[in-house]
A and B are shown apart, each in its own frame.
Chain A
Amino acid sequence: MASSPKIKIGWFSFSCCEDNTIVMTEVMNDHWQEWKELFDFRHARVLKTDNVMDDFDIAFIEGALASPEHVAKIKDIRGRSKKLVAVGSCAVIGLPAGQRNTFTLEQKASIDYLVARFGALPEVKKVSDVVKVDVEIPGCPMDPKVFLEKVNGLVAELRS
């Protein structure tokens, strides 16, 4: 394991409650020693300050896409990443972060000025609406066991 270069990880949060970030940091309680050897967290705002936007072996995306900046950023991340993983319900199906898409006309009327004020997209998008997703980990929050299973699968694939 030590002879292989570390797997370059990006962890990105878009519009969401960041519950998957918390689940990831709880999974870390039991796996941090292994991850320290295996992963190079290149970009993970919750873990570090000196974040680097270069190439990623695996980019994890949580959250839905709520603005044109989000759309541009996810395309940029896709271009830099061998594997792109959508984690959690907001990334995979766009909800609940995109619940305004389902609002009644009356509810929409009450928030329109705020959507416009901050230049948000008329409709919130799930990640696969904009870029190709290699692996989906659904759940609100994601299931830690499924997360580990998918991560281990990706590590095996990248190392093969």
Chain B
Amino acid sequence: MHRIDLRLDHITKVEGDASMDVVVEDGKVTDVRFAIVEYKRFFTTAMKGKSIAAIPQHLARICGTCSNAHVMAAITACEDALGIEPTPQTKLLRRLVMHSLMIRDHALHLYLFVMPDLFGKDAFLDFDENNPEQHQLLHDGFDIKSAGNHLAELVAGRSVHANFPVIGGFLKFPSAEGAAESVQELKAARPAVLRLIEIFRKAPFHFDRKTKYMALVQNDTFGYLGDKIVTSRGETYERKDFRSHLEHVALPYSQASAYTYKGESYMVGALARLNLAKDKLHPGTKKSAAETLKLFPSTDIFHNNLAQAIEILHSIDESIDILSKNSFKPEPVVKVPMRAGTGVGVIEAPRGTLYHKVVIDKDGIVENGEVIVPTGQNQVNIERDVGTLVEELLPDAPKEKINFEIEKLIRAYDPCMSCGAHFLKVKWQER
């Protein structure tokens, strides 16, 4: 029997640390293991005994780049447990927090992680300033990131571990002057986003196969603080159902947990969102990206990059609208008496659907909690796709080429290992 063991240690240009093992026997892939090798930091165990007021900032520390998504999911879960209804202004500001996150996080992924693969470079900073196209892209990438970062500073306090949003509202509010500056910056970044969409529309990378997808969809607009979980099978689930529709899969070799839906793998993230709700995008985005949007729905995983580029445009267009049409006034944080209860928060993080659950006693002390992150939901799909990809490349492709193609494919999923290793209780299945 001819056996090949492929191992990719410490996959680069992704969030966090992961490795990939592929075993090939007689030309067939017999085992694929995408292992998250970050050490567990036990956030859900550490929740127990803390006051509910501390939970959003606590859970933010699961992940640096997705932290404002964790803040929003945790606030939603805590408000659900306490029976708090946020004010209309708070809802608008939260939408802006999510838009700022999508702009800066997707731009980080597309320019710093993915774009080097498209241009045969090792790093984005290796792009040549004397080459007009690469010069433009360097400026575009940092300008878009900067516009997202400044919007986050304006509405959330900062891009990482946002300190303005709290349970019941916000502690600080955008000034008219700050909003006007942000609008100007977002408008200036818009042409760069159109160039970005064009690059990923023309990108020669493709990997298409049938897969299921799932996303939280908002009723009124394309948003990330949605109302219902919708699947590509056409089913819908309510937020309160939490994860009753998902099956937990224990992976003895990984520090993270994986999930399936009705026994099948599925994907979450920008591609799933575009597939399920592209008709709800901002009118300006629909107009500017009309041709590109015809490519969706798509099951080409590399279209996840394109979907992220379109989401940046949507987030810019909607942020400009919100900031231009509203003035924000200081308002008190909504406070209610403590009560025992269970709360669920579900939002769309940049990488897909994020679930938080919190159980509190009558004094608001946390008894239990659970967090399900997007990368755990994409894990089984990633492994299956890598297996298929390797079989397609064998036996002719050299090992370096296979490694590069695997990394490229994994990057298209935009996995986040910091999130993946936050800790979920694992039931071990020895093999």
A: which residues have CB within 8 A of B? Answer: 13, 15-23, 25-26, 28-30, 32-33, 35-36, 41, 45-51, 66-67, 70, 96-97, 99-100, 103-104, 107, 110-111, 114-115, 117-118, 120, 140-141
Q: Is B138 an interface residue, CB under 8 A from the partner? A: yes
B197: Cβ under 8 A from any A Cβ = no
- Docked complex Cα distance between A36 and B129 (Å): 10
Q: How many whole Å from B104's CB to the nearest CB in chain A?
A: 7
**Do B12 and A48 touch (CB < 8 A)?**
yes
Contact call A48/B46, Cβ cutoff below 8 A:
no
CA distance A48 to B124 in the complex (A): 8
Complex Cα distance, B58 from A45, in Å, reads 26
In the bound complex, how far is the Cα of B422 from the Cα of A114, in angstroms? Answer: 12
Could you give 20 example pairs across A and B, Cβ below 8 Å?
A13-B17, A18-B15, A18-B64, A18-B65, A19-B65, A22-B64, A23-B159, A26-B145, A32-B125, A48-B13, A49-B123, A97-B39, A99-B41, A99-B42, A100-B41, A100-B45, A110-B45, A114-B423, A118-B39, A141-B161
Would A120 and B39 be within 8 Å (CB), given that A18-B418, A26-B149, A47-B112 are in contact?
yes
With A22-B65, A26-B159 as contacts: A118 and B149 at CB distance below 8 Å: no
Evaluate whether A32 and B41 lie within 8 angstroms (CB atoms) in the complex, with A23-B160, A25-B112 already known: no
Contact B149–A18 (Cβ < 8 Å): no
CB <8 Å contact, A29 and B112: no
Q: Is the CB of A48 within 8 A of B146?
A: no
Q: With A and B bound together, what is the CA distance between A22 and B104 in angstroms?
A: 10
Q: Does B142 contact A (CB under 8 A)?
A: yes
User: How far is it, in angstroms, between the C-alpha of A88 and the C-alpha of B401 when the chains are bound?
Assistant: 37
**Cβ–Cβ contact B46 & A103, under 8 A:** yes
Complex: chain A residue closest to B42, CB-CB: A100
Residue pair B62, A17 in contact (C-beta under 8 Å): yes
Q: Is the CB of B112 within 8 A of A99?
A: no
Say yes or no: is B353 at the interface (Cβ < 8 Å to chain A): no
Q: Lowest 7 A-B CB distances belong to which pairs? A: A19-B64, A66-B39, A48-B123, A29-B146, A18-B64, A49-B12, A17-B64
Shortest distance from the beta carbon of A81 to any chain B beta carbon, whole Å: 19
Contacts of A97 in B (CB 8 A): 39, 41
Residues of A within 8 A of B125 (CB): 32, 35-36, 41, 47
> For residue A32, which residue of chain B has the nearest CB?
B142
Q: Which of B41, B43, B64 contacts A141 (CB 8 A)?
A: B64
Q: Which residues of A contact B123 (CB under 8 A)?
A: 41, 47-49
Report yes or no: B122 in contact with A50, Cβ–Cβ below 8 A. Answer: yes
Cβ–Cβ contact A114 & B426, under 8 A: yes
Q: Which residues in B have their C-beta under 8 angstroms from that of A32?
A: 125, 138, 142
Which A residues are CB-close (under 8 A) to B138?
A: 32
Q: Closest CB-CB distance, A33 to chain B, in whole Å? A: 8
In the docked arrangement, what's the CA distance between A111 and B47, Å? 14
A15 touching B45 in the complex, CB below 8 Å, given contacts A47-B123, A96-B61: no
CB-CB nearest in chain B for A14: B39
Task: Please give the distance in Å from A23's CB to the nearest CB on chain B.
Answer: 6
In the complex, B344 has a CB within 8 A of chain A: no
Which of B38, B39, B46, B428 lies in contact with A99, CB distance below 8 A? B46
Contacts of A16 in B (CB 8 A): 41, 64, 418
Shortest Cβ distance from A97 into chain B, in angstroms?
5
Q: How far is the CA of A47 from the CA of B15 in the complex (A)?
A: 10
Alpha-carbon distance between A50 and B138 when the two chains are bound, in angstroms: 20
Residue of B nearest to A25 (CB): B108
Q: Are B45 and A111 in contact (CB under 8 A)?
A: yes
Interfacial chain A residues near B160, Cβ < 8 Å: 19, 22-23, 26, 141
- The answer to whether A18 touches B63 (Cβ under 8 A) is yes
Tell me which residues from 148 to 164 in chain B have a Cβ below 8 Å from any Cβ of chain A.
Answer: 149, 158-161
In chain B, residues 119-143, which have Cβ atoms closer than 8 Å to a Cβ of chain A? 122-126, 129, 138, 142-143
B254 — nearest CB in chain A belongs to which residue?
A118
Q: What's the nearest-Cβ distance from chain A to residue B304, in Å?
A: 19
Interface readout for B20-46 with A: 1 if CB under 8 Å, 0 if not? 000000000000000000111111011
Inter-chain pairs besides A22-B159, A110-B45, 6 sampled, C-beta below 8 Å: A22-B64, A25-B145, A26-B149, A32-B142, A48-B126, A97-B39
B125 to chain A, nearest CB (A): 6
Asked if B45 contacts A45 (CB within 8 A), the reply is: no
Cβ contacts under 8 Å, A22 to chain B: 64-65, 108, 159-160
B371 → chain A, closest Cβ, in Å? Answer: 13
Q: Mark B411-430, 1 if CB is under 8 A from A, else 0.
A: 00000001000010110100
Q: Which residues of B contact A117 (CB under 8 A)?
A: 428
Q: Which of A29, A45, A70, A111 contacts B149 (CB 8 A)?
A: A29
Q: Are A45 and B61 in contact (CB under 8 A)?
A: no
- B407 in the interface (beta carbon within 8 A): yes
Closest to A51 in B: B12
Bound-state Cα–Cα, A48 to B117, Å = 10
